[in-house]
Amino acid sequence: MCIGLNCALGAVEMRPFIEAIGKCTTSYVICYPNAGLPNTFGGYDETPEVTAKHIRDFAVDGLVNIVGGCCGTTPAHIREIAEAVKHCKPRVPPSSVFEGHMQLSGLEPFRMGPYTNFVNIGERCNVAGSRRFAKLIMAGSYEDALTVAKAQVEMGAQILDINMDDGMLDGPRAMARFCNYIASEPDIAKVPLCIDSSNFDVIEAGLKCCQGKCIVNSISLKEGEEDFLAKARKIKQYGAAVVVMAFDEVGQATDSKTKVSICTRAYNLLVDKLKFNPNDIIFDPNILTIGTGMEEHDKYAIHFLEATKTIKDTLKGAKVSGGLSNLSFSFRGMDAIREAMHSVFLYHAIKIGMDMGIVNAGNLPVYDDIEKELLQLCEDIIWNKDPEATEKLLKYAQTTAKGGKKVIQTDEWRNGSVEERLEYALVKGIEKYVVEDTEEAKANKEKYPRPLHIIEGPLMNGMKVVGELFGAGKMFLPQVIKSARVMKKSVGYLIPFMEKEREEIKAATGSTAEDNPYQGTIVIATVKGDVHDIGKNIVGVVLGCNNFRVIDLGVMTPCDKILRAAIENKADIIGLSGLITPSLDEMIFVAKEMERLAIKLPLLIGGATTSRTHTAVKIAPRYSAPVIHCLDASKSVVVCSQLLDETVRDEFVEEVAEEYEDIRQEHYDTLKERRYLSLQQARDKGFHIDWLTHPRPVKPKFFGTRVFKNYDLEKLSQYIDWKPFFDVWQLRGKYPNRGFPKIFNDKTVGEEARKVYEDAQKLLQVLIRQRKFDARGILGIWPAQSVQDDILLYSEEHDLHSSEPIATFYGLRQQAEKDSASTDPYYCLSDFIAPLESGVRDYLGMFAVAIFGVEELSKAYENKGDDYNSIMVKALGDRLAEVNLEPGLGTFSWWC
């Protein structure tokens, strides 16, 4: 293969670029310069002898393999060049360049080597990780979404992670479209991209649109070696580097030994079978959540760090990456805690050998700047030095206010009723008195004749509060787990009494039937194709602690296994979980199978990638029994309880069905995705005026600006549009009584509208009489010409060919594709200004209007406690400002 340059430059100007190419490639180098730079008439003056001398210098210095000439060179030039280099040795390409480096690129090269600092991968161009980015992409505002990407580059992101995994998006199309938008912005396109998806079709769509060499995130062995190698082979064909997750056919690796084993297996497959460049392999050994309150999670950070060290020591050339947000997911909503944990973790991971990470680097505190107590707590939880680390970190977050003052803790809550004490204990996760309080409640036989009534009463009420707080982001996962422990302790105390009660009932009635001690049986599973289970496990813990029998089928669970387990265990509810986008399709399949087999059990949908909209639009219509989205662990208790309570079930299900119908309708109303013409196509279909045959624009009476003050408010008031005035007061008549003055006839709001209008008229007369407002305006008129979509302004009558504009307005042309039957043009404001090339002189006018005095008068009323007139002043000022142009600025008197 040969790489090089031709045209554009002469040999002298081309030399530094040829030298740079030679340093970067193992290929042959080609050079075809012009005969110097063109002269003012477009010709070339460099003689054959001069061109040949420069090129001979290239050859002598070992820079080139093939030489020739381009613009301005003649047969004489080529003969001289051939003669000049015939005794020179061709360049000997190096066997390797940047050995030991991962080489990536956007518009600019990016190399990672042994001495490269930690590489920040920007995380915000992710529809699952950034609400703002997701909102823009869902709305089709791809150009605005570029601002998210640009901000990350400006904050120091060296690679951009792009993820379009959402059930409501056409993933491949969205990925391709956004990558194409990035390609149009050099400030963003200069950095390499990381194409991130759990759907390989989305990855491939991104690879087809990427400039330079990017990273694929990710593939794994979860579907076996054949699938792994097939995807890796395609990635190699596209010339990309690859992230390999520490998953295999068994599931997600959680301990260091398994992480290393899976990564080593994947490395050997890639290097030995596909000859994949080891420097292009990145392993993600799974940064998992710590501080969940579950003991088996306590060493997850240590396992990652240990695996990272072993991978770097044993797998030559391989890099290590990871997504930091998972680490602190338990503390979501506590940004300061999360950022400190991330900073401390990175500090140690980088020292051990972690090369890169998906992280919002601009928000991380410097390790040495972290407050000492918080730093120690983060060290303890990451290295699992203290079994109470989670508890202490939570306490730190709860007792340290924004100003750093400690919140005084007391036992005042112990003075409340037993119901209040149980609720407080559940919400705060206090186990100390729960058995004592449960016993007190049990002793009140009049209020709680059966132990079950305590569970259904104060304990469930407390868990409902926990659920609401958790759902609102006011409680966090470790606290929910603590609440579940309190619940479990209370229920555990009551179970022997419940069993004794059942035995007594059996003896009294002679019944031999087994009583079910549980509220209900729930089968939960992570669906086929997905190995994520932390969230599901937490749901299982919370439900189990609330006296539900939980049948947990684990991860990668096929549909038939889920349905068989539900039938065999006489389940009351089925719960499906998933984290990656393909899981959504599997959930739809499970719902369709349940409908086909007439398994009419409530179906709960949960997991980070799920949403109410997807559940309502894509899953619920496939299944005639209740389908309910349930994202939060604690809310699952409330939902399951309502589904199994015959007194509220029907009403609850009906309410959810109505809500989902509204969501579906709203979704379908906004479903039409805009398609866009290219800019040139839109220009071709623009609004074209024949300026030579149309009447010439009238020359205005003046150029420049004029200011107008003290317009007559009495005259202005005659032009007021009152409909927006009533909108301010949220008074809207219903057909046929919409608008002014019909609103006065409306049965619901008519009377109040009339009162407000009368008050407005009284105040308006005061404003006019006392001249409380000053209506002002400014008018400007300038000579103007258009150039394509832009409008050029001039200070005075100008020479059409030599005058310089004083300002340029950059116009935006309509590009959203119109209906196929539409003949409407694709407008731009510049269409209405004569083009510079037409020779027709044109003009542009602008104005601004305002009512002065509104803010001061409104504030005066507010200071007197008269909010009504304070708002009334603003509403009237708004109406008067809108009509301020009517008497003068908006007339043609200034033009003719």
Active site members: 530, 532, 583
70 annotated to bind ligand = yes
Residues 6 or more apart whose Cβ sits within 8 Å of residue 555? 251, 252, 525, 526, 530, 531, 532, 533
2 annotated to bind ligand = no
136 to 157, 693, 705: CA distances (angstroms): 21, 44, 39
The C-alpha atoms of residue 60 and residue 87 are separated, in whole angstroms, by: 9
CB contact at 8 A, 192 and 212: yes
The C-alpha atoms of residue 548 and residue 637 are separated, in whole angstroms, by: 9
Q: Is the peptide bond before 825 cis (omega within 30 degrees of 0)?
A: no
Core vs surface per residue 829-868: b (16+ CB within 10 A) or e: ebbebbbbebebbbbbeebebebebbeebbeebeeeeeee
CB contact at 8 A, 103 and 141: no
Residues 6 or more apart whose Cβ sits within 8 Å of residue 101? 111, 112, 113, 116, 279
CB contact at 8 A, 195 and 182: no
The C-alpha atoms of residue 235 and residue 219 are separated, in whole angstroms, by: 10
The C-alpha atoms of residue 234 and residue 101 are separated, in whole angstroms, by: 22
Q: Would you call 453 helix, strand, or coil by DSSP?
A: helix
The C-alpha atoms of residue 586 and residue 596 are separated, in whole angstroms, by: 15
Neighbours of 881 (CB within 10 A): 19
291 annotated to bind ligand = no
Residues 6 or more apart whose Cβ sits within 8 Å of residue 638? 463, 464, 467
Structure tokens at 718: 């005659």
- Is 320 exposed, middle or buried, given 0-12, 13-18 or 19+ CB atoms closer than 10 A? buried
The C-alpha atoms of residue 807 and residue 792 are separated, in whole angstroms, by: 6
54 annotated to bind ligand = no
Structure tokens at 584: 């959504």
The C-alpha atoms of residue 191 and residue 214 are separated, in whole angstroms, by: 9
721 annotated to bind ligand = yes
71 annotated to bind ligand = yes
Rg (CA), the chain: 36
456 annotated to bind ligand = yes
CB contact at 8 A, 792 and 800: no
The C-alpha atoms of residue 373 and residue 390 are separated, in whole angstroms, by: 14
Residue 325 gets which letter from DSSP?
A: G
CB contact at 8 A, 281 and 316: no
Q: Would you call 690 helix, strand, or coil by DSSP?
A: coil
CB contact at 8 A, 24 and 111: no
533 annotated to bind ligand = yes
Angle between helices 477-509 and 434-443 (to 10 degrees): 30
How many degrees, rounded to 5, is the angle at CA 876 between CA 874 and CA 878?
Answer: 70
User: Which residues carry a binding-site annotation for methylcob(III)alamin?
Assistant: 456, 529-533, 577, 581, 633
Which residues are documented as binding site? 7, 70-71, 456, 529-533, 577, 581, 633, 721
- Residues in binding site for Zn(2+): 7, 70-71
> Which residues are known binding-site members for S-adenosyl-L-methionine?
721
